[in-house]
Amino acid sequence: MPTRPSRNSNAQPLPRHIQIIANGARRNPAAHFNRLVQLLRDERAWAVHPQLLSIIFRQLDKDPARHALLTEDDVICYQLGFKALDGILVARNATRGSNGRRSELDHSYILPAWPSVWKWMQYLYYGTPDGLLDTTFNAESRPTAFYLYIFNTVQCFLAAILMDQPSPALSSAVIATPGVLRMATEIWIRQGDRPSDPNDTNVVEAGPYTFAMALTAILQANPSEMSDLADGFGIGPQALAALLARPIRYVVLEREAQLRAYDAYIAVYLELARQAPEIMKMVLAQNILAAILYGLAFLLSIREPVPRHESITPGIAACLRFIVVAHALSGGFAWVSDAIRLKLVSSMLKCASRLPPSGTAPTERGIESDLLLIVNLLEQCVFHRPLLRALGRVMRQQSVLSLAGQVPKESWFSSHWERFAASVEFMSKAYATFDESEESKLKCASFKCNNIETTERFQKCAGCHQVVYCSETCQREDWQHGIHREDCKTAREIRSQQACHVSLRDRAFFTFLAEQQIKKDQQKIIEMRDRSPNDRAVKPLVLRIDHSITPAVLSLEPADEFHPVSCRGPPSITVIPLPPDSRSTPPPLIQPCVTVAYGDEQRAIVYTPSKVSGDLFGWFHGAGGDDEERKENSRRVYDAFGEAIFEK
């Protein structure tokens, strides 16, 4: 039995009418306990009187495990336990504004009684008619007569203990209790099931916003329990992910009614991403990003000040932070297509137009920082043709152009946005030029065929996606009598290890793009070459055009030291030795490579053969040997660089 203070002889005597009800509740709880709790709610000045608190906590000293719901007395015992929890909430609410009384209540009464309180919470929430505990999610075996009100009281109790002027010792004890995370998570998932009673102060004071904040605190202290949550609910990981996606949809559908809860709910998901990223990846697969973007668009449609609500800025900031974290977890750009369709671009510009030109608040500085991150992520997408098309269509809309004109010119975002818009326009034109050029035309891979694409595209090999054929006859001939049977198997094995794949046409485009960049920056590359160390004077150099960061960066690296980590080991780079008489000349360049982003986890390094002529780039010419040897060297180099690897 928990230790509590004895009756305080210095306490003020109870008024006669309260003393009568207290005596009745002590002698016959079934008849008078409800009246006592209601009295505490009506006359809050007496809610923390030691004599009344003693009666309430004594009810929780009984062991709920001894009472299966088989008799009327058992049901009454459970109802009294429920009302005792309600009475503690009433007493705690009565101490608001009085730190001394709140501290005494937490330390002298609730903390010593917490083991008993938690046991009652478990049996009230998980209890079955036969007196057992069933932690299966939303188990059908639980009592239903007053279950939803138990559900609400448990939520209010946890929220009050953890978020309403919490006592550090008490909140630490609650958070560290095994099973609290599981119960709190189920309650959070089932927010839409809560009874709505505007006259119940507990419901008002422990709504979705407060309870989401409480759950975030529990998550921070119990990261290891998240991995066992699915087993605790009696379901699989995918089913758990589907359940965890429900709360944000509930808040978004409630729209203005739950406006204040947006940032608190998203904070739970952000903490989940930090503590249990594998679970959060499965939650993201439930397409909750659509709900986040829908909520962001709704928030931005509201003009502040918002009546009866706090500022919507924290909700906007939380939505943007979620987008950044979602990208980091997804490890790719699969989410971008849906985000563009769900008006991400318009929402970003509306966010940016709300930024004050100077002296921004911390939250608003966070908004601008995340906006810049998202712009950089979108800028990396311009190399993916389907995403570029979608971005181009959106960026040309008159509504988007109008929103872009409303962004403060002196903000950091404005300069980043202008660079991004210019990049979309440049890449759109580059792809259009490429499609009209000969470089976009692929040759049939059959060793007996020299056909090149004209207006119709050849079909890719369905196995490896690495070669194209002009007809089924050529494909069959190459499979049966050529070398593609062996090459296809190897390519499939490599492809199976890669999360993303650079298509043939994209590789051809990157070659075309590299040619344009080399011609444009030739003088800059020459200066970089001339600054290379003397001891590397005879080593070929790799020209790396890195588009995985914005803006793109050019760099030169010695070919024999250029070994990015890939899914299948270091790339095989063909280095042709230079003749002795050329050692006094500046080092020629090996063929360039292009790096593009495929997400935070991978960057594709695409080797591209260069056709730029001259001493600087035509390094085959210094290799020596007869014409046939030079042709063979050129073929080997093309084979080595006509492929893509992935750098971690």
Q: What is the mean pLDDT of residues 530-552?
A: 70
Separation CA 171–CA 217 (nearest Å): 10
The answer to whether residue 531 scores a pLDDT higher than 80 is no
User: pLDDT tens-digit profile of 250-287?
Assistant: 888 876 667 778 888 999 999 999 988 889 999 999 98
Separation CA 465–CA 488 (nearest Å): 9
Separation CA 374–CA 335 (nearest Å): 12
Q: What is the mean pLDDT of residues 550-577?
A: 57
Separation CA 625–CA 90 (nearest Å): 94
pLDDT on residue 624: 36
Separation CA 264–CA 261 (nearest Å): 5
Q: What is the mean pLDDT of residues 631-635?
A: 38
> Which of 337-341, 511-515, 585-589 shows the highest mean pLDDT?
337-341
pLDDT on residue 163: 83
Q: What percent of the chain has pLDDT over 90?
A: 15
Pairing of strands 644-647, 603-607: antiparallel
pLDDT on residue 304: 59
Would you place residue 619 in the very low, low, confident or very high pLDDT band (cuts 50, 70, 90)?
A: very low
Q: What is the mean pLDDT of residues 41-60?
A: 88
Sheet strand arrangement including 593-597:
553-558, 541-546, 593-597, 603-607, 644-647
User: pLDDT tens-digit profile of 116-145?
Assistant: 999 989 888 887 777 778 888 876 666 555
**DSSP codes, 131-145:** S-B--STT-TTS--S
The answer to whether residue 344 scores a pLDDT higher than 90 is yes
Q: How far is CA 369 from CA 210, 348, 362, 363, 364, in A?
A: 27, 12, 11, 10, 9
pLDDT on residue 586: 53
Separation CA 556–CA 636 (nearest Å): 22
386 and 373 in contact (C-beta within 8 Å)? no
Separation CA 521–CA 642 (nearest Å): 23
The answer to whether residue 39 scores a pLDDT higher than 60 is yes
Instruction: List, in sequence order, every residue forming a beta bridge with 554; answer none if it has no partner.
Output: 545
Q: What is the mean pLDDT of residues 602-615?
A: 65
Would you place residue 589 in the very low, low, confident or very high pLDDT band (cuts 50, 70, 90)?
A: low
Distance of CA 132 to the CA centre of its chain: 38
pLDDT on residue 605: 76
CA distance between the termini of the chain? 58
Would you place residue 486 in the very low, low, confident or very high pLDDT band (cuts 50, 70, 90)?
A: confident
pLDDT on residue 111: 92
User: pLDDT tens-digit profile of 427-459?
Assistant: 888 888 887 776 677 788 888 888 888 777 788
Cis peptide preceding 551, ω within 30 of 0 = yes
pLDDT on residue 114: 94
Q: What is the mean pLDDT of residues 81-106?
A: 85
> Which of 479-483, 564-568, 616-620 shows the highest mean pLDDT?
479-483
Stronger pLDDT, 530 or 290, i.e. the higher one: 290
The answer to whether residue 613 scores a pLDDT higher than 60 is no
The answer to whether residue 43 scores a pLDDT higher than 60 is yes
Would you place residue 590 in the very low, low, confident or very high pLDDT band (cuts 50, 70, 90)?
A: low
**At which residue do the structure tokens 């946890």 appear?**
158
27 and 55 in contact (C-beta within 8 Å)? no
Average the pLDDT over each of 232-241, 375-384, 546-555, 581-590 and give the range with the smallest value.
581-590
HEC readout, 227-296: HHHHHHHCCCHHHHHHHHCHHHHHHHHHHHHHHHHHHHHHHHHHHHHHHCHHHHHHHHCCCHHHHHHHHH
User: pLDDT tens-digit profile of 487-509?
Assistant: 888 777 766 665 456 667 777 78
- Please give the mean pLDDT across all residues of the chain: 77
Dihedral sign of CA atoms 644, 335, 311, 210 in order: negative
pLDDT on residue 365: 59
Dihedral sign of CA atoms 460, 461, 467, 470 in order: negative
The answer to whether residue 215 scores a pLDDT higher than 60 is yes
Which backbone phi and psi does 309 adopt, to 5 degrees?
A: -135, 160
Q: What is the mean pLDDT of residues 361-382?
A: 79
User: What is the amino acid identity at position 28?
Assistant: N
Q: What is the mean pLDDT of residues 611-634?
A: 43
Which backbone phi and psi does 647 adopt, to 5 degrees?
A: -95, 130
pLDDT on residue 3: 47
Separation CA 335–CA 285 (nearest Å): 10
The answer to whether residue 219 scores a pLDDT higher than 70 is yes
HEC readout, 563-624: CCCCECECCCCCCCCCCHHHCCCCCCECCCEEEEECCCCCEEEEECCCCCCCCCCCHHHHCC
**DSSP codes, 64-99:** GGG--TTSHHHHHHHHHHHHHHHHHHHHHHHTTT-H
pLDDT on residue 640: 35
Stronger pLDDT, 578 or 457, i.e. the higher one: 457
pLDDT on residue 375: 92
Q: Provide the 8-state DSSP code for 11.
A: S
pLDDT on residue 632: 42
Neighbours of 325 (CB within 10 A): 20
User: pLDDT tens-digit profile of 158-199?
Assistant: 888 888 777 889 999 999 898 899 899 988 888 876 655 544
Q: What is the mean pLDDT of residues 528-545?
A: 68
Would you place residue 1 in the very low, low, confident or very high pLDDT band (cuts 50, 70, 90)?
A: very low
Average the pLDDT over each of 51-55, 79-83, 116-120 and give the range with the smallest value.
79-83
Q: What is the mean pLDDT of residues 378-405?
A: 89
Ramachandran category for residue 569: left, alpha or beta (phi over 0 → left; psi -120 to 50 → alpha): left
Instruction: List, in sequence order, every residue forming a beta bridge with 589; answer none if it has no partner.
Output: 541
pLDDT on residue 244: 92
